[in-house]
Structure 1
Amino acid sequence: MNEKLKQLYQSVILQHNNHPVGYGKREGSAYTLDAYNPLCGDRFQLFFSLEDGRITGLGFHGYGCAISKAATSVLVKHLEGQPVQRALEMCRAFEAVVQPDAPAPSATEEDFEAFAAAREFPGRLKCATLSWEEISRFLEAQGVGG
């Protein structure tokens, strides 16, 4: 892992773990998803609504390792207010960044690029993608934005 990526990884993970975006239970959300990893025990609930084809009121609550919490915080930061189709594109982009066989990230959000370092820790890939995969599955199953 090059030094720039290592520093970016550490700063993004620490920032989002210590000061997560959208952390807290959300009353009145239309949807609550349970993102759970039985292998390590990470569990987050994602709260949101869909209004006029956009994700609104997005937040999360739960517990997990620093990587899963930071990745979920980044999800909230980037998907809140997005049209569903754009949110799905961002989910795919994030998931592609952390995949071991994917090319090095280019022209992605800096927050996403930081998680490319997770490639070097295959056991942590699920931690990074847990919430992203859950919301992506939900949106695709609803047939929205597709």
Structure 2
Amino acid sequence: MIMLDDLYRKIVMDHAKYKRNYGAMDGERDIHKIHYKNPTCGDMMVLYLSVKEGRMEDLSFEGEGCSISMASCSMMTELLKKHTVGECLKKRRAFERLIREGHREDGIELGDAASLQGVHTLRARHNCALMPWQALDRWLKEQKI
């Protein structure tokens, strides 16, 4: 199990250091911009979404925070691109269960985000891992989804 933990740690650190989809989104498309601040530690982010015909066409983020929160932002933006809003909701619920309960849901692919499973044992870091997903929740609530 130690080798697997080391692999997961490397994946998390890679996403934290080399953030995927980092930067403001601009262009001709309709872009949603969601500001979010982690209430427990002060990490902050801006999530950018471009949704077309019920599908996450593109996602990106800007922000500052700990390795866990920045890696989670990077992982989430990669994971949700090109998926329908309904698929994103399923992945969102599965990821929260992974973090809060430490359990993976069968049939729901979480990609690199699954490497954050160990955060389950660090209760104080749950909100760090969940930060981008909570920003997504804010957008879903605004859209009444």
TM-score when scaled to structure 1? 0.86
The Cα shift of 1:39 comes to 2.5
Asked whether the 8 Å contact 2:34–2:138 carries over to 1, the reply is no
Q: 2:10 maps to what in 1?
A: 11
Residues in 1 aligned to 2:68 and 2:89: alpha-carbon distance in whole angstroms: 21
Q: Which amino acid aligns with 1:103?
A: H
Asked whether the 8 Å contact 1:17–1:69 carries over to 2, the reply is yes
Q: 1:125 maps to what in 2?
A: 126
The Cα shift of 1:140 comes to 4.6
Residues in 1 aligned to 2:112 and 2:74: alpha-carbon distance in whole angstroms: 10
Deviation by residue 1:54-96 (Cα, 9 ceiling, x = unmatched): 1123100010100000001000001111111011111111111
Q: 1:113 maps to what in 2?
A: 114
In structure 2, relative to structure 1, the CA distance for the partners of 1:90 and 1:45 (3 Å cut) is same
Q: Which runs of 5+ in 1 are unaligned?
A: none
Q: Which runs of 5+ in 2 are unaligned?
A: none
In structure 2, relative to structure 1, the CA distance for the partners of 1:104 and 1:59 (3 Å cut) is closer
Q: RMSD across aligned C-alpha pairs, in angstroms? A: 1.9
1:53 to 2:54 alignment: yes
Residues in 1 aligned to 2:32 and 2:80: alpha-carbon distance in whole angstroms: 15
The Cα shift of 1:6 comes to 1.6
